[in-house]
Amino acid sequence: MSSAEISDAAAHQIVVLNCNTNSVLTRSLEAIARLAASPGSTVVGLTPPFGPESAEGYYESMISATAMFAALEKYPEPFDAVVLAGFGEHGREGMRQRWEVPVVDITEAGPILANLVAHRYGVVTTLSSTVPVIWESLRNAGLHTRCIGVEASEIPVSSIHTDIAEVAGALESRARQLVSRGAEAIVLGCAGFAGLDLELGRRLGIPVIDGVPAGVRLAEALLSAGMSTSKAHAFSPLNPAKRWKGWPPAASTEQMHLDPARVS
């Protein structure tokens, strides 16, 4: 295979899907994801068309999941993989049933890498209201058994970029609690914390994992291996003949007829 063929083989379009409507955060996630992507790959940050400015609890997470589906349904270009940039948010399994391309949730990507470099890991996140949602997501993914704990910094997503030094200090404090309980690696439990892994790792002296670049690299690994989402059983294709009312959300659309080419 020539160098040009190798380059073409590595060229993928990866959608990094923000879980909230903060477009500034989307651009930040896109920039961080691009740094992690292989040369030739295209990374596109996508913001949901509706929903909360941050997802911090069950209700907001459910609405955000619906909005994320709507964003992908309306995305006009073909894509090779999706990275879900919401830690603990709902929608992961539904995304995998809807699309055949690899769907990597940062809630899985961070812990998967942590399990490869440490025996036990901990998660530092935003508010206490997100902790139960994260635990449930980890359990559903089978990643909870080696998790020491999930600690909330009590810093809302909307305040993360107001004072980075304060955020880093709060994360360090919670991370040290996890380390004292046996954590050997820390996972950043919010996409908004993206970019703080190096500083926190320097302070703690252990691996600190940012789920956004981890998600991009795992997506590329699946693509390079020629893997796609299984369509057997749980993620079997949707019935393209079934009628949908008012979905995806659009003033001019009353019913959706699924495009079989995008379903299977």
Could you tell me if 179 and 236 lie in one domain? no
pLDDT per position as a tens digit, 146-175:
999 999 999 988 888 777 888 999 999 999
Q: Poorest-confidence range of 70-74, 165-169, 206-210?
A: 165-169
The predicted structure's pLDDT at residue 252: 36
**pLDDT surpassing 70 at residue 204:** yes
* Spatial distance between the Cα atoms of 221 and 216, rounded to a whole number of angstroms: 9
Mean residue pLDDT across the chain: 91
pLDDT of residue 182: 98
Q: How many residues would you count in the chain?
A: 264
Please, which pLDDT band fits residue 10 given cuts at 50, 70 and 90? low
255-260 mean pLDDT:
50
- What CATH number does the domain containing 171 carry? 3.40.50.12500
Tell me: do 187 and 149 sit in the same domain: yes
pLDDT the model gives residue 259: 54
Model confidence over 232-249: pLDDT tens digits? Answer: 999 999 999 999 998 887
What residues make up the domain containing 84?
Answer: 3-105+215-263
Tell me how many domains the chain contains: 2
Select from 177, 193, 210 the last residue of a domain.
210
Domain end call among 210, 225, 248: 210
Say yes or no: 36 and 160 in one domain: no
Please, what is the end-to-end C-alpha distance for the chain in angstroms?
A: 30
- How open is the CA angle 2-6-9, to the nearest 5 degrees? 135
Average pLDDT (184-211) is 96
Instruction: Tell me which amino acid residue 179 is.
Output: V
Q: What is the CATH number of the domain that holds 101?
A: 3.40.50.1860
CA distances from 201 to 68, 171, 182, 195 (A): 31, 11, 16, 11
Share of the chain above pLDDT 90, in %: 82
d(CA 200, CA 82): 27
Query: Are 204 and 231 found together in one domain?
Result: no
Average pLDDT of 121-136?
97
Among 190, 210, 230, which residue terminates a domain? 210
Domain identity same for 112 and 205: yes
One domain for residues 74 and 15: yes
Pairing of strands 42-46, 13-18: parallel
Instruction: Report the number of secondary-structure helices (H) and strands (E) in the chain.
Output: 10, 10
Task: Based on the fold, state whether residues 7 and 91 are members of the same structural domain.
Answer: yes
Residue 187 and residue 204 in one domain: yes
More confident residue, 234 or 40: 234
Question: Do 51 and 182 fall into the same domain?
Answer: no
State the average pLDDT over residues 40-58: 96
Same domain for 97 and 78? yes
Residues 99 and 173 in one domain: no
**Claim to verify: residue 62 and residue 78 sit in the same structural domain:** yes
Residue 75 has pLDDT above 50, yes or no: yes
pLDDT at 7: 42
- Predicted TM-score (pTM) of the model is 0.91
Write down the pLDDT at residue 255. Answer: 45
Q: How much is the pLDDT for 160?
A: 86
Distance CA 37, CA 41 (A): 6
For residue 44, is pLDDT > 90?
yes
